[in-house]
């Protein structure tokens, strides 16, 4: 008599799970009539232009993409038959974290990462998401970002696809990583042992100044060492720091000019 009860219970649990509007990965069902899951949009580039910022990406064909700023601004565009979208967003006057969503009926499914755009035209443009290295979209090579949850740090950057990158931390031994097929590389620096750290990438040394203070503003870029740092919330009790390196060779050329 117990087996039919167990089977019925499992069926009820599966039906209950399938009827939920979102899954743990942030996808959503458009409604009970939906044929499948609504996929979150993927941003693959964001380029500064004279008229503003051109945000490009991929979603389901015929979708409506909405980009929302943190000051109540919103911009929308539809995807083409191939699911591609390109949306011109006015350049923000202040540092802004945008949420990119696809509308599905009354639901909105956000991209896994938020889009950071510095108010300073020379500042970083990047995708930030919990548990993943920050992905810079503005031009550059070498060390891009040091992410920290105040327990461990992860350095990441760009190079030619397949290139072997030589990294030295605090004058230690050379560590070699290989850029993936999109030219991205990352290195887990392990537990934090000192407030600051030197990171040398292919002979160019950066001084990471350490994490921001607990009184630093949230969602705003602040000068820190040879770069800028962003303190942003993961939840009410957790946060992350993302330090954006400035290529000293580029800075030297800019200062000399």
Nearest to 228 by CA among 237, 217, 220: 220
pLDDT tens digits along 215-251: 899 999 999 988 999 999 877 778 899 999 986 444 4
Distance between CA atoms of residues 175 and 164, nearest Å: 10
pLDDT tens digits along 52-79: 999 999 999 999 999 999 878 899 999 9
Residue 70 is predicted with a pLDDT of 80
Give the tokens for residue 144.
């891009």
Say if CB 109 and CB 28 are below 8 A apart: yes
From residue 141, alpha-carbon distances to 12, 246, 247, 253 in Å are: 52, 10, 8, 16
pTM for the predicted model, two decimal places: 0.80
Residue 2 is predicted with a pLDDT of 40
Q: By three-state DSSP, how is residue 61 classified?
A: coil
Instruction: Label residue 1 by pLDDT band (50, 70, 90).
Output: very low
Gyration radius of the chain's alpha carbons = 21
Distance between CA atoms of residues 235 and 246, nearest Å: 28
Distance between CA atoms of residues 55 and 63, nearest Å: 15
Q: By three-state DSSP, how is residue 17 classified?
A: helix
Say if CB 112 and CB 173 are below 8 A apart: no
pLDDT tens digits along 153-208: 999 999 999 999 999 999 999 999 999 999 999 999 999 988 999 999 999 999 99
The helix, strand and coil proportions of the chain, stated in percent and rounded to the nearest 5, come to 10, 45, 45
Which value, to the nearest 10 degrees, does the dihedral of the CA atoms of residues 89, 229, 246, 200 take? -140
Which residue's entry shows tokens 């889009």? 115
Give me the DSSP letters along 141-187.
-EEEEEEE-SSEEEEEEE-STT-EEEEEETT--EEEEE--TTSEEEE
Residue 174 is predicted with a pLDDT of 97
């Amino acid at each position: 008599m117990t087996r039919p009860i167990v089977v019925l219970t499992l069926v009820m649990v599966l039906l209950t799970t399938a009827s939920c509007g979102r899954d743990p990965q942030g996808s959503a069902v458009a409604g009970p009539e939906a044929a499948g899951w609504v996929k979150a949009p993927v941003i693959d580039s964001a380029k500064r232009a004279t008229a503003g910022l051109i945000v490009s990406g991929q979603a389901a064909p015929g979708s409506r993409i909405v980009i929302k700023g943190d000051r109540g601004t919103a911009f929308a565009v539809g995807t083409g038959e191939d699911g591609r979208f390109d949306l011109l967003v006015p350049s923000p006057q202040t540092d802004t974290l945008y949420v990119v969503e696809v509308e599905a009926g009354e639901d909105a499914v956000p991209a896994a990462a938020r889009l950071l755009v510095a108010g300073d035209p020379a500042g970083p443009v990047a995708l930030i998401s919990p548990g993943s290295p920050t992905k810079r979209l503005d031009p550059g090579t070498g060390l891009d970002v040091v992410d920290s949850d105040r327990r461990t740090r992860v350095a990441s950057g760009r190079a030619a696809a397949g290139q072997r990158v030589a990294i030295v931390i605090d004058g230690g031994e050379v560590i070699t990583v290989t850029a993936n097929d999109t030219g991205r590389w990352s290195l887990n620096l392990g537990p934090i042992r000192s407030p600051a750290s030197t990171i040398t990438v292919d002979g160019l040394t950066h001084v990471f100044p350490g994490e921001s203070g607990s009184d630093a503003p949230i969602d705003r870029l602040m000068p820190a060492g040879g770069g800028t740092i962003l303190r942003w919330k993961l939840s009410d009790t957790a946060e992350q720091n993302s330090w954006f390196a400035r290529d000293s060779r580029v800075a030297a050329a800019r200062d000399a000019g």
